[in-house]
C-alpha cells in the first residue's frame, strides 16, 4: 500500500513567480534594500486583510515578538497563550522577559479555548497570543470582547491560515495586531519572511522604532516581496481548492471516527489549510501508539507528521499554569497532521491519502486488539 501520485513538492510551479524572479534579475531590484515590490506587497496585504498598515519582516517568529513589543509588553508582564502552540511563540514571550501563562486549547479546533481564557483573571496579564492552528479557528468575537474588558492586547497569529475568514472577516484582522509567515512550507512562501497587520498607528510606531537600527533590523527583501505578490493574488482560489479537498477527505474518513477525530472550525468559518489535523484517539491515552502509525504512513509516502509537542510539561519556573491543560496534553501526544501540498494536487492524491490512512489505522488497531 503506497501513494503513487506524489511527491508533493512545495512551492509548486508558477509562471508568474518565475517571471517575477526574472524581472527582478533584469531590473537589478534583487540587489536593492527597499523598493516598489515591498511597498506594493504591503499595500496589497492591507487591502486583502482590511487593515491600515502592513509591516514586512523577516519571519513569523520574529513577527510575534515584534507584535508583543508593539503592544507595549515589557519585562515582568504576563502573556497568555495556548498550551498547544508553535514553540517560537513561547520563546517570543520569554525573549521580552515576560512570562507565559498557559491556557488549554479546544478539542475541536486545536486552538486556544476562549471559555478557559475567560477564567484567567490576573492583573499582570498584558496580552494574549491567539494562534489559529491546523484548520481550526479561535472564537475571535469572544476573545476580542473579553480582551477589551480586561485591557489586554490581542496578538493574532495567522501564520498557518492566511486568507481564512471568520464571520466574513479576515483572520489576522480581528486582533490589535495580526502576524503572517512567509516561511518555506507556508501557503504564501518566500522561503523566509513575515508581516505584521494592524490598524493601530501606535503599535506600528513602536515596532518601527524597535526595528530601526540605522537600517531595518528584520527586513523582507525586494526579491521576496516580488515572489509573494503573485501568490497573494492566487491565495483565495488556492484556499478554495484546498478547502474542497479537505471536505472530500473528511467525508471519506468518517468511518474512521472510532479512532480518528478531525479538527473542525466554527460553523461560520472558512479555514485555510496549512495542515489538516486529526487526533489519533488510541494515542490520547497511550502516547506511544502514534509513532507506529506515522511510521507506516510516511513509509507509504503519505505526507503526514506529528503535531506540536506543547508546553504543558514545561517547568513552572518558566511559565504559569493556573488551570488544567488536559486537552493540550492529549493533543500533544495524539495529533497527526497532513501537510497541505497534497491538497492542491490532483483529486486522485486525496483519494490515495484517504485509502492509506484507512488501511493503516485499521491494521494497527486490529493488531493491537
Ligand atoms: C502558528 C505559527 N506561528 C508562527 C510560526 C513561525 O513562522 P516562521 O517559520 O516564519 O518563523 C509558525 C511556523 O510554522 C507557526 O506555525
Q: Please check the confidence at residue 57 and state whether its pLDDT lies above 70.
A: yes
Cβ–ligand 1 contact at 131 (below 6 Å): yes
With respect to residue 7, please indicate whether it lies within any of the assigned structural domains: no
pLDDT of residue 368: 77
Mean pLDDT across the stretch 119-136?
97
Cβ proximity of 295 and 364 under 8 Å? no
pLDDT of residue 308: 98
Q: Which CATH number goes with the domain that contains 301?
A: 3.90.1150.10
Closest ligand 1 atom to Cα of 192: 10
pLDDT in tens, 284-299: 999 999 999 999 999 9
Confidence of residue 164 (pLDDT cuts 50, 70, 90): very high
CB of 88 sitting under 6 A from ligand 1: yes
Q: How far is the CA of 160 from the centre of ligand 1 (A)?
A: 7
Residue 249, CB-side half-sphere exposure with 13 Å CA sphere? 30
Cα separation, 61 vs 157, in Å, equals 10
Ligand 1 centre and the CA of 183: distance in Å?
A: 7
And the C-alpha cell for 142?
469572544
194-198 vs 177-181, strand pairing mode? antiparallel
Task: Give the C-alpha separation, 62 to 157, whole Å.
Answer: 12
Ligand 1 in reach of 111 Cβ (< 6 A)? no
- Confidence band for 1, pLDDT divided at 50, 70 and 90: confident
pLDDT in tens, 318-339: 999 999 999 999 999 999 999 9
Q: If you write DSSP's letter for every residue of 50-67 in order, what string do you get?
A: T-SEEEEESBHHHHHHHH
Residue 10 lies in a domain: no
Residue 211's pLDDT is 98
**Within this chain, do residues 305 and 330 fall inside the same structural domain, yes or no?**
yes
Longest C-alpha distance within the chain, in Å?
A: 65
* Secondary structure element (H or E) that encloses residue 338, with its range: strand 335-339
**Is pLDDT above 90 for 55?**
yes
Last residue of a domain, one of 194, 209, 231: 231
Number of domains in the chain: 2
- Pair 138, 90: CB distance under 8 Å: no
Q: pTM for the complete prediction?
A: 0.97
Whether residue 80 sits in one domain with residue 92: yes
Instruction: Please tell me if the CB atom of residue 58 comes closer than 6 angstroms to any atom of ligand 1.
Output: no
Q: Is 333 in the pocket of ligand 1 (CB under 6 A)?
A: no
Q: Does 259 lie in the same domain as 186?
A: no
Looking at the structure, tell me whether residues 135 and 252 fall in a common domain. no
Full 3-state SS string of 64-75: HHHHHHHCCCCC
**Within-domain flag for 3:** no
Our answer on whether the CB atom of 109 is closer than 6 Å to any ligand 1 atom is: no
Same domain? 199 vs 265: no
pLDDT band at residue 102 under the 50/70/90 scheme:
very high
Determine, yes or no, domain membership for 303: yes
Residue 265: predicted pLDDT:
76
DSSP state at residue 13: P
60 lines ligand 1 (CB under 6 A): yes
Residues 172, 199: Cα–Cα separation, whole Å: 11
Q: Are residues 299 and 205 in the same domain?
A: no
User: Could you read off the pLDDT of 190-213 as tens digits, one per residue?
Assistant: 999 999 999 999 999 999 999 999
Q: Is residue 213 part of a domain?
A: yes
pLDDT at 369 over 80: no
CB 326 within 8 A of CB 274: no
Q: How far is the CA of 63 from the centre of ligand 1 (A)?
A: 9
**Grid cell digits, residue 164:** 481564512
For 102, the 3-state DSSP assignment is: strand
Residues 90, 220, single domain; the answer is yes
Q: State whether 226 and 245 are in the same domain.
A: no
**Which of 231, 256, 281 delimits the end of a domain?**
231
Q: How far, in Å, from the CA of 159 to the mean position of ligand 1?
A: 6
Ligand 1 touching residue 106 (CB < 6 A): no
C-alpha cell at 23: 524581472
Mean of pLDDT values over 104-128: 96
On the question of pLDDT at 261 being above 70, the answer is yes
Q: Say if ligand 1 is within 6 A of residue 162 CB.
A: no
- Tell which atom from ligand 1 comes closest to the C-alpha of 59: 10
Q: Which three cell numbers stand for residue 230?
A: 503573485
275 and 222, same domain (yes or no): no
- Could you tell me the residue range of the domain that residue 321 belongs to? 235-367
Minimum-distance ligand 1 atom for the alpha carbon of 132: 1
H helix or E strand, kind and range, residue 128 = strand 125-131
pLDDT in the model for residue 366: 84
Q: What is the pLDDT of residue 6?
A: 82
pLDDT of residue 264: 85
Q: Which of 90, 137, 183, 224 to mutate to test the pocket of ligand 1 (most atoms within 8 A of CB)?
A: 183
301 and 340 part of one domain:
yes
Q: Extract the C-alpha cell encoding 352.
A: 490515495
The answer to whether residue 296 is domain-embedded is: yes
- For 23-33, b/e burial (b = at least 16 CB within 10 A) is ebeeeebbeee
Asked if 293 and 352 sit in the same domain, the reply is: yes
Q: Which residue of 10, 56, 61, 136 sits with most ligand 1 atoms within 8 Å of its CB, as the best mutation to test the pocket?
A: 61
Per-residue pLDDT of 335-352, as tens digits, reads 999 999 999 999 999 999
Of 231, 247, 263, which closes a domain? 231
The per-residue pLDDT for 4 is 92
Q: Is 162 in the same domain as 247?
A: no
Ligand 1 atom with minimal separation from the 181 CA: 10
Amino acid at each position: 500500500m503506497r501513494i503513487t501520485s506524489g511527491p508533493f513538492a512545495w512551492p509548486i510551479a508558477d509562471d508568474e513567480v518565475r517571471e517575477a524572479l526574472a524581472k527582478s534579475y533584469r531590473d537589478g531590484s534583487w540587489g536593492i534594500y527597499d523598493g516598489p515590490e515591498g511597498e506594493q506587497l504591503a499595500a496589497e496585504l492591507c487591502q486583502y486583510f482590511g487593515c491600515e498598515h502592513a509591516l514586512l519582516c523577516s519571519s513569523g517568529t520574529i513577527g510575534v515578538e515584534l507584535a508583543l513589543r508593539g503592544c507595549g509588553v515589557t519585562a515582568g508582564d504576563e502573556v497568555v497563550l495556548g498550551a498547544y502552540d508553535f514553540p517560537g511563540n513561547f520563546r517570543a514571550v520569554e525573549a521580552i522577559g515576560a512570562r507565559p501563562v498557559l491556557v488549554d486549547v479546544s478539542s475541536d479546533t486545536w486552538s486556544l479555548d476562549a471559555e478557559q481564557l475567560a477564567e484567567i483573571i490576573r492583573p499582570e496579564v498584558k496580552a494574549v497570543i491567539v494562534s489559529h492552528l491546523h484548520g481550526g479557528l479561535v472564537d475571535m468575537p469572544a476573545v476580542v470582547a473579553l480582551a477589551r474588558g480586561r485591557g489586554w492586547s490581542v496578538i493574532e497569529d495567522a501564520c498557518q491560515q492566511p486568507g481564512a475568514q471568520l464571520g466574513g472577516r479576515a483572520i489576522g484582522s480581528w486582533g490589535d495586531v495580526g502576524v503572517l509567515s512567509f516561511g518555506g512550507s507556508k501557503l504564501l512562501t518566500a522561503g523566509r519572511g513575515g508581516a505584521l497587520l494592524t490598524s493601530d498607528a501606535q503599535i506600528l510606531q513602536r515596532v518601527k522604532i524597535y526595528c530601526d537600527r540605522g537600517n531595518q533590523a528584520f527586513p523582507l527583501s525586494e526579491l521576496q516581496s516580488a515572489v509573494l505578490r503573485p501568490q497573494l493574488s492566487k491565495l483565495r482560489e488556492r484556499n478554495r481548492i484546498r478547502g474542497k479537498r479537505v471536505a472530500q477527505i473528511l467525508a471519506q474518513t468518517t468511518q474512521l471516527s472510532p479512532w480518528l477525530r478531525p479538527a473542525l472550525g466554527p460553523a461560520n468559518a472558512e479555514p485555510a489549510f496549512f495542515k489538516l489535523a486529526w487526533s489519533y484517539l488510541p494515542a490520547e491515552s497511550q502516547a506511544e501508539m502514534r509513532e507506529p502509525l506515522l511510521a507506516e504512513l510516511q513509509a507509504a509516502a503519505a505526507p503526514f507528521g506529528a503535531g506540536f509537542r506543547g508546553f504543558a510539561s514545561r517547568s513552572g519556573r518558566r511559565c504559569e499554569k493556573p488551570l488544567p491543560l488536559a486537552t493540550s496534553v492529549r493533543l500533544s501526544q495524539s495529533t497527526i497532521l497532513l501537510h497541505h501540498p497534497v491538497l492542491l494536487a490532483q483529486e486522485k492524491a486525496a483519494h490515495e491519502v484517504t485509502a492509506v490512512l484507512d488501511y493503516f489505522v485499521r491494521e494497527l488497531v486490529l493488531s493491537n486488539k
